[in-house]
Structure 1
Amino acid sequence: MSPESHDQAPGPPECGTAESEVPTASPYARSYPSGGFTVVEVLGEIDMATAGALAEHLDAVTAGRAPQVLVDLRRVTFFDCSGLRVLCRADRRAKERGGSLRLVSDQPRIHRLLRASGLLSRFPPLPALPPPSRPGSAPPPLPPR
């Protein structure tokens, strides 16, 4: 069964989070604005027990109109299919709202997981965060998927 088939699974209830509102940090994720994007920095181990904390952040940052989200996985020490399911759901939510979600990872093990799960073409990782743009300007363009 592919991760996309679980995209419709119930999650935390949708909230009226404003586009500029950033969720409270947790031991597993923190979010901050950077150059027209919302960066969700993922920390530590993301598995069945901790994926909910990541899902809360991604639900909040994809709740607004046209969310531009970068999920930074460079500080992740473990990531399994529970995390992939959360990423697939957040990507679908962002696209439904006219936005996008991209991954940032320089870790070969994350790339292997994406390749093995068939999600590398859906989530081609950027090696680093793009440089911040000037205030009031559009976010810098990302390399194409």
Structure 2
Amino acid sequence: MRQEPRKDPAPLTRHLRVREDRGHTVLEFRGEIDIAAATEIMPYLDLVTAPGGARVVIDLLHVEFFDCSGLRLLYRARSRVLERDGQLQLVCAHPLTLRVLKVTGLSRLLPPLATLDAALGQPEATSGTL
């Protein structure tokens, strides 16, 4: 039996909150996203990206530090969502995180939006599909 993502805004870990908003599952990453945080986040990321046609937003607005472990999470989420005909949007406004996304090329595959409203307001997101 398939598990449904949690619907409440309660923190699932100290680095992640998950909620539903306007037909999207919003994964709000918080604090320092390093290998320890990625280990906590991965099971929830896999849960919400498992259903076909999932509409997912990853919100990095509350992230203070973001390393290659965070990049792996984003790439994994993008791959899983696209394999299942879903949509993925990324929200990021922190200059250093934006720079990391640009330098690694991930911003071309998953273009970041500046606000959560911008991500939730895009009805036919392309998720950076090439």
TM-score (normalised: structure 2): 0.84
How much has 1:73 moved relative to structure 2? 0.1
Describe the shift of the 1:70–1:84 C-alpha distance in structure 2 as closer, same or farther (beyond 3 A): same
How much has 1:124 moved relative to structure 2? 1.0
Pick aligned residue for 1:82 from 69, 89, 98 = 69
- CA distance in 2: counterparts of 1:142 and 1:122, whole angstroms: 16
- CA distance in 1: counterparts of 2:74 and 2:119, whole angstroms: 23
Letter paired with 2:17 = R
Is 1:17 aligned to residue 17 of structure 2?
no
Describe the shift of the 1:104–1:32 C-alpha distance in structure 2 as closer, same or farther (beyond 3 A): same
Report what 1:3 is aligned to: none
- Give the paired residue count: 124
Q: Is the 8 A contact 1:104 1:127 kept in 2?
A: yes
How much has 1:16 moved relative to structure 2? 2.6
- CA distance in 1: counterparts of 2:83 and 2:124, whole angstroms: 19
Which has the larger Rg?
1
Pick aligned residue for 1:100 from 87, 101, 104 = 87
Letter paired with 1:141 = P
TM-score (normalised: structure 1): 0.76
Extract unaligned runs of 5+ from structure 2: none
Report what 1:33 is aligned to: 20
Query: Which shifted more, 51-60 or 69-78?
Result: 51-60
Report what 1:5 is aligned to: none
Describe the shift of the 1:48–1:143 C-alpha distance in structure 2 as closer, same or farther (beyond 3 A): same
- CA distance in 2: counterparts of 1:123 and 1:63, whole angstroms: 19
Q: Which has the higher contact order (CA 8 A, sep 6+)?
A: 1
Report what 1:11 is aligned to: none
Q: What SS does the aligned partner of 1:82 have?
A: helix
Is 1:122 aligned to residue 104 of structure 2?
no
How much has 1:102 moved relative to structure 2? 1.4
Structure richer in helix, relative to its length: 2
Report what 1:56 is aligned to: 43
Instruction: Report the RMSD for the aligned CA atoms in angstroms.
Output: 2.3
Q: Is the 8 A contact 2:87 2:125 kept in 1?
A: no
Moved over 3 A (4+): 142-145
